[in-house]
Structure 1
Amino acid sequence: MLLDLAGVIYDGDTLIPGSADAIGRLRAAGLAVRFVSNTTRSPRPALVKQLAGFGIAVADHELVTPAAAAIAWLRQAGRSPFLVVHPNLRPDFEGMEFDGKPAVVVGDAGEAFDYAVLNAAFRQLMDGAELVALAVNRMFKDRDGLPSMDAGAFVAALEFASGVKATVIGKPAPAFFNAALEDMGCGPHEVAMVGDDAESDVAGALKAGLGAALLVRTGKYRPGDETRFEPAPTAVVDDLAAAADWLLSRRG
């Protein structure tokens, strides 16, 4: 069982009603649960602490984030990161310096996005750096309840200007889903995904071969999302509590 965080379990600092109980029911039924998030504004310890504050205990290995995957990619490639990320995420990459050309790592930098930062990244790319996108989501539901631009548009701008194609680390990259599946010891067809993003969460999971992907009508969901991307969701449900009902009723 793979669960998105923001928009599925919580909105901003508010727990979505029924979500903590739903996770408890899934675990009590013996289902392995992993939390897969494209969130790039918060480091892993902050996410674990936030979930604990909602009464949801999460072991370190149960949380899969783009930052952790990017760090593994950088180490394997021997590339030093040129960061275009939120200031809160920078400590995760401290001390990572290797020989060879750098890799421009782009996440949701929030207010840190400006022309000077993007142009500096563009110049790195023109000098031979690789481009690594922590995520390419179009938008997210901000703390004020309104939609805000996510990192995808900025990644696209750098790709367009430099001609360098980004390596996508987070959802919908199949490798991101596979990392969670390997930790669970499950095959793709044995696992379902629950998310509020019809493109990255749902279509991405189905393209990666997962057995089912449910779209919830919470978080960033907007009416009609279920028809905007292919493959279409296996089911559309009101929230995580309803998703748990759907999954448990069809278990086995």
Structure 2
Amino acid sequence: MPQALLLDISGVLYQDTQPIPGSVQAVRDLQAKGCPLRLVTNTSRLTAAAIHRQLSGMGYLIEPEQIYSAPRAMRHYLQAHGLRPYCLIHRNLEAEFADLLELPAPNAVVIGDAAERFDYLHLERAFHLLLDGAPLLAMGDNRYFKLEGALRLDAGPFVRALEYAAGVQAKVLGKPSPAFFQGALDELGVSAEQALMIGDDVESDVRGAQRAGLQGCLVQTGKYRPGDEDKAPAALLAKDLADAVRRYC
């Protein structure tokens, strides 16, 4: 049995604006057992405060500090390294980076899920900064996510395009970076082998967790597609979060 849990949010706790059946009670069951947990997400369309409000409205009794997000990890990295970012991010995320957006002479490129801002003008600005030596920092390199019943392009394809154009390699601060998982584990005070990661993304959630030394569990909700389990044969498999909690926690 794991001594701590990391749970992905979108596709595991909810889909679009509705909690996935059984997930609210599953989280309450974990809390009743006293199981330490962090909700870990690459979501870069919402601030941590907005994510907390959204979850609270669905019935999840989660403390704000239990949400460990890629934007949060990005802010820590930028501040620790004294970087001035050019932020190609979603409008909804600007509040979380407000104090960094006005810094002059950017010397780093930060990429999140910028949606319609992934246009030629913004990508060209990022491209020239990279040519001048700025590092490319990504909140995640996910290929796609699921919204309103359809798969949507995530930041990953645009990160790859900039890598190719500028001849650089991005540093990923969110999943599947081992440093991201370690940051969440450090907050929980457990080692990787003591923790279980439950997610719907076989690459970022499950394989990323496995490479970081955690056990991974793939749930068949959210962006899961039949056959994903074959990409991580050593992972646990569950129908949904409620099933994972019953069987493995």
TM-score by length of 2: 0.95
Distance 1:60 1:8 in 2: 18
Q: Return the alpha-carbon distance in structure 1 between the equivalents of residues 103 and 119 of structure 2.
A: 27
Out of 111, 132, 135, which is 2:137 matched to?
132
Measure the CA separation in 2 of the matches of 1:217 and 1:149: 20
**Structure 1 runs not aligned, ≥5 long:** none
Tell me the equivalent position of 1:224: 227
Q: What's the C-alpha RMSD, in Å, of the aligned pairs?
A: 1.3
Distance in 2 between residues matched to 1:146 and 1:79, nearest whole Å: 36
Q: Indicate the residue corresponding to 1:209 in structure 2.
A: 213
Matched to 1:9, the amino acid is L
* 1-structure distance, mates of 2:141, 2:21: 28
Give 1:234 deviation, angstroms.
Answer: 2.1
Query: Which residue pairs with 1:112 in the alignment?
Result: 117
Report if the CA contact (8 A) 1:203-1:233 is conserved. no
Is residue 8–residue 19 contact of structure 1 (8 Å, CA) maintained in 2?
Answer: yes
Counterpart mapping for 1:75-94 below 5 A = 75-94=79-98
CA 233–12 in structure 1, closer or farther in 2 if over 3 Å, else same: farther
Aligned AA (1:134): M
For the residues of structure 1 that align with 2:103 and 2:125, how far apart are their CA atoms?
20
Partner deviation per Cα, 1:188-211 (whole Å, 9 max, x = no partner): 11110000000000000011001x
CA distance, structure 2, for counterparts of residue 14 and residue 232 of structure 1: 30
Whole-angstrom distance in 2 between the partners of 1:129 and 1:18: 45
Q: Partners of 1:99 and 1:75 in 2: how far apart?
A: 15
Question: Would the alpha carbon gap of residues 115 and 101 (structure 1) be closer, same or farther in structure 2, given more than 3 Å must change?
Answer: closer
Distance 1:232 1:151 in 2: 26
TM superposition shift of 1:232: 3.0
Matched residue type, 2:146: K
- Deviation readout 1:174-226 (Å, 9 max, x if unpaired): 1111111111111111110000000000000011001x211000000000011
State the aligned residue count.
244
Q: Does 1:185 align with 2:186?
A: no
Of 157, 160, 171, the match for 1:156 = 160
Which residue of 153, 173, 177 corresponds with 1:173? 177
> 2:78 maps to what in 1?
74
Which AA in structure 2 matches 1:13? T
Report the AA paired with residue 194 of structure 1. Answer: I
Matches for 1:9-28 after TM superposition, within 5 Å: 9-28=13-32
Aligned to 2:203: 199
* 8 Å CA contact retained: 2:85, 2:106: no
* Partner residue in 1 for 2:66: 62
Question: Is the 1:215–1:233 Cα contact (8 Å) retained in structure 2?
Answer: no
TM norm structure 1: 0.94
